[in-house]
Every structure is written in structure tokens, then in C-alpha cells.
Structure 1
């Protein structure tokens, strides 16, 4: 990552923990899925730099308050200083999505997924955008990918079922 470094041994520990967490998501305990997802987000949110973490936090707070413009500014600053940190792109994609700027959101989702191919939240955002754009077949494909990573996600099976019916031409 530009501007800061996480030690190789710290990355290896996080990678092995992430592998175990993703295995836990695919496992049989739906009640634990939300907690496991939160732990994954916590790991993904560690940039290795307190100043980058502060930019991430400021962007997220701006999102929570509905200030999309400020959120984009914070996430853009984070991306400028840490272009290999997927959460900067993911946060900015969320801000763009909330502001109705789907093209820019899709671009940042693509960057998020190129840096973190298992980013099920970014995939979910892409699927939502595809649904908004009237592309249910494409959205269904993405939701199915999300399902392979986190099959117990609340509401996911219902979303997939509804899209399958829509794609198959059945009335919802």
C-alpha cells in the first residue's frame, strides 16, 4: 500500500483468519453469520495507518449523516493516499450509490473487487445497482456469487428467489 506498510507476518495472520472466517460463513451456523461478517469488515477496515483509518472513519461518519459530498471527499483523499486499500473505493462507491451516481459507483465497485475479489458487500452493491437499472439477470448472477461467499446472509435467499421468478417471467 502506498504510504504505509503492514508487516508480512501481520498480513499472513489476517489472511489465515479471513480464510477461517469465510469457511465459517459457508458453515452451518446462520446465527453466527452476522458476527462473522462484522469480523471480516473489521479486518478489511484496517489500513495499517492511523491517518488512513481516520479518513475511512470520517468518510463513514459522513455517510451515516447523509452527507454524500463530504463522504466522497474523505474517501477520495483516502484513495489518493492509499490506492491499494479496497475500503476507500468501497466507501466511495457507497457514497456515489446513495447520491444516485451509479456509473461512478460501479467504477469504484470494480476497483474494490479487483483489490478484494471476495468483497461480498461490494458485490451486493453492484447487484442492487443492476436491479435499479432493470437488469435482473445480471443482478441475479451477482447475488448468486454473494451466496457462495455468505449463504446465510439475511434476506439473500428471498432476493434470489424473487429475481429467479422475475427472470423466469413469473409474477412475484
Structure 2
């Protein structure tokens, strides 16, 4: 439970960061194939969305460097093996060498969040979304963190933005259904 004054100050800084992240983003110059896939994803059926998601993830995972790809794989493997501290080591090395690689920041944010280090997690998400405002997975992780801080309205907003980009994202859809009673009011 978040009760003491220090935790409240921390929560306010998380909320402020979330507001900055959720503010409308200016145009982001992605490569054309990603733009086209995102347009198709917005209107795709569920089966098409699976392939489009896979293709987008492949584009967003391209670092252009075998060494950077190796660091990403090691960080993701550590996350899969429930070793977030190890993941942070690999992903920090990756962020240090490739600071503009948005997925590295997203994965490191996931690792920080697993260790309840929400300040660094939100900072990484802010950078990931600055670099790639269309990353629906980053918006999903932000929503999860906001739920941790019992802010269903802002979490719902993050999930809604993710769903606008990827209407068939199952985890986002489930989160929206779960939070709907807390954000849309209750029927008498």
C-alpha cells in the first residue's frame, strides 16, 4: 500500500510522467513499411492482425548491428527466465550503445517494472514512446504500471491508445474490459 509522504511524492512523479507520455505526440518519422503496416493493422481482421503484428515487431527489432541484436536477445531471454536484474544489465548495455533503439528501452522498462522500480520503468517508457509513439506494447506496459498505482482512468487511457493502434491486441482488450466498470461508471 502506498501510504507515506515519500511514496505519495513518488506516485505524483509517476502520474506526471504518465501525463507527459499520454499527451498527443507530434509526428514521428518512421520508415514507410512500418507506417503502411500500422495503417493496415488498424483495419485488419483478427487473423490478419497476427501477421501484421509479427511484421511490425520484426521491423522494430532491427538494430542494424549483430552485437546489438545479441544484447537484445540476451535481455529478452533473461526476462523469459524471470531474471529481470540480469535483463537490465544486458539492456542497459544495449541502451548505452544504441540510445535510439526504442525496443531496448521498452524491454528494460519491463525488467524495471518486474523489480518494482517504477521510476526507471516509466522513464524508459517515456523514451520508448518518444522514439516510437505507435508502440502499442509500450502503451500496454504503461497501462499495467498505472494499474499498479491504482490509477484506472490513466491506465484505461493508455490501453485505449494501444487499442486504437492494434484493435486485436488480446491483452489490451482484456485490460479494457477489466477496467471498464471503474472508468465508465456503474449502472444502477
Per the shorter chain, which TM-score range? 0.7 to 0.9
TM-score for the superposition, normalised by structure 1 = 0.86
Which runs of no fewer than 5 residues in structure 2 stay unpaired? 1-28
- Contact 2:140/2:172, CA 8 A, preserved across alignment: no
1:59 paired residue number: 75
After TM superposition, give the deviation of residue 38 of structure 1 in Å. Answer: 1.6
1:39-73 CA deviation, whole Å, 9 max, x = no partner?
A: 11111111011111111111111111111111000
Residue 153 of structure 2 corresponds to residue 137 of structure 1? yes
Residue 168 of structure 2 corresponds to residue 152 of structure 1? yes
Divergent runs of 4+, >6 A: none
Q: Which stretch shifts more, 104-113 or 152-161?
A: 152-161
After TM superposition, give the deviation of residue 155 of structure 1 in Å. Answer: 4.3
Structure 2 CA distance for aligned equivalents of residues 117 and 161 of structure 1: 23
CA RMSD in angstroms, aligned pairs only: 1.8
Change (3 A) 1:139 1:51: same
Count of aligned residue pairs for this structure pair: 159
- Structure 2 counterpart of 1:44, from 35, 38, 60: 60
Change (3 A) 1:38 1:23: same
Which runs of no fewer than 5 residues in structure 1 stay unpaired? 1-11
1:71 paired residue number: 87
- Contact 2:109/2:120, CA 8 A, preserved across alignment: yes
Residue 39 of structure 2 corresponds to residue 23 of structure 1? yes
Structure 2 CA distance for aligned equivalents of residues 42 and 73 of structure 1: 23
Change (3 A) 1:28 1:116: closer
Structure 2 CA distance for aligned equivalents of residues 145 and 106 of structure 1: 17
